Chain A
Amino acid sequence: MSDGPTESLNQHVIKASQSGDVKALVSLFADDALFMPPNDTNVYGVEEIRSWWEDYFTSFSIVSNVLTERDLTVAGSQAFERTAFTGTILPKKDGAKIPDEIRTLIVWKRQPGGNWKISHLIWNSVKPVGAGTNRYMNLMMQKKGRSS
């Protein structure tokens, strides 16, 4: 076993997401990363990932992200990180804060320089269908709110 992505890298993810720092978030991904957000199509490669985050932060800001569970296994040039966290997002146009409980599975790949980048990222919510922070659901709710 060798050193893998550190706790500080994980904190970097949390900090970048809370500050809406797309550049910092995108810098974590390998060029050919596969990003799999719930109720959304696959996002292939770093350019599509950048576009996804830009779109996301047009509609939402991430208010809080508190890590509740983290399990990291390093195996050769891959590292497997499983996390759980509670988070809250806020629609930018209108609406109240939306809480969620999320699990992620992240595969990190060691780069030739020795640093680590994300090759696969998927998440889902523990919350019942219709709750949580899925962006499409919340966009739909915002539209409902605007039309009523």
Chain B
Amino acid sequence: MTLVPDEVYNRWLVQKIMGAEVSKKEDPIFPYRQEWMKAFKAGDIEALVSLATDDIVCMSPNDTTVYGKDEYRAWWEEYFQYFKSVAYSEPERSVVIDGDYGTEHSGYMLAIAPASGGGRIRDDGRILTIWKRQQDNSWKMWQTIWNSTNPIGSGTNRYMSRMLQKKVKPKR
């Protein structure tokens, strides 16, 4: 077997960089992703939920699947009881638009802090989101899933982080 990761990666990167020039015009989802990032950083649940379709399916790692807007809201409410966002950026992004659907892949770098105190928790990962164009021409999240690129035992998974919080608590 011949493996040429650098060559494959470089070709992919060039395509994406060249594509990014075009995507400013052809990436109608980008403003909505920016809104999402702003809402996440602010812990603004209503803004996050407003970007979701009624039938959103959200698949967060090590957690059950969330179906529909109400469950999605409840998920975020619980999340922000435990954590606040410290930093979030997406250094990598690709979008494919086909009719009323958009396939968005983004790589993320994230830091959150436990709401009850404690050190920052860093994570790197990627999100795959399918966006759906609405009747008013806006775009909403329809299906979304993510995972971490970091080794098991690191990262910002909420269950893991809760476990860490529990570990810290008895010392008080």
Residue in B57, B59, B148, B159 whose CB lies within 8 Å of A39 = B148
* Cα–Cα distance between A82 and B59 once the two chains are bound (Å): 10
Give residues 94-147 of A contacting B (CB, 8 Å).
103-105, 107, 119-120, 122-130, 134, 136-137, 140
A37 to chain B, nearest CB (A): 8
* Cα–Cα distance between A17 and B53 once the two chains are bound (Å): 33
B61 within 8 A of A: yes
Q: Which residues of A contact B18 (CB under 8 A)?
A: none
Q: By the criterion CB–CB under 8 Å, are B143 and A80 in contact?
A: yes
Q: By the criterion CB–CB under 8 Å, are A105 and B4 in contact?
A: no
Give residues 119-152 of B contacting A (CB, 8 Å).
126, 128, 130, 143, 145-152
Interface size class of A (residues with CB under 8 A): 35 or more
Output the residue of B11, B60, B61, B159 with the most chain A CB within 10 A. B61
Q: Which residues of A contact B15 (CB under 8 A)?
A: 32
B contact residues, total (Cβ < 8 Å): 44
Residue of B nearest to A73 (CB): B101
Q: Residues of B with Cβ closer than 8 Å to A? A: 1-5, 8-9, 11-12, 15, 57, 59-65, 94, 96, 98-101, 103, 105, 107, 126, 128, 130, 143, 145-153, 157, 159-160, 163
Residue of B nearest to A122 (CB): B128
A45 within 8 A of B: yes
Which of A6-14, A48-56, A58-66 forms part of the interface with chain B?
A48-56
Residue in B61, B103, B107, B126 whose CB lies within 8 Å of A107 = B103
Q: By the criterion CB–CB under 8 Å, are B57 and A82 in contact?
A: yes
Q: Are A129 and B160 CB-contacts (below 8 A) given A103-B65, A103-B145?
A: yes
Q: Which residues of B contact A134 (CB under 8 A)?
A: 152
Q: Which residues of A contact B163 (CB under 8 A)?
A: 129
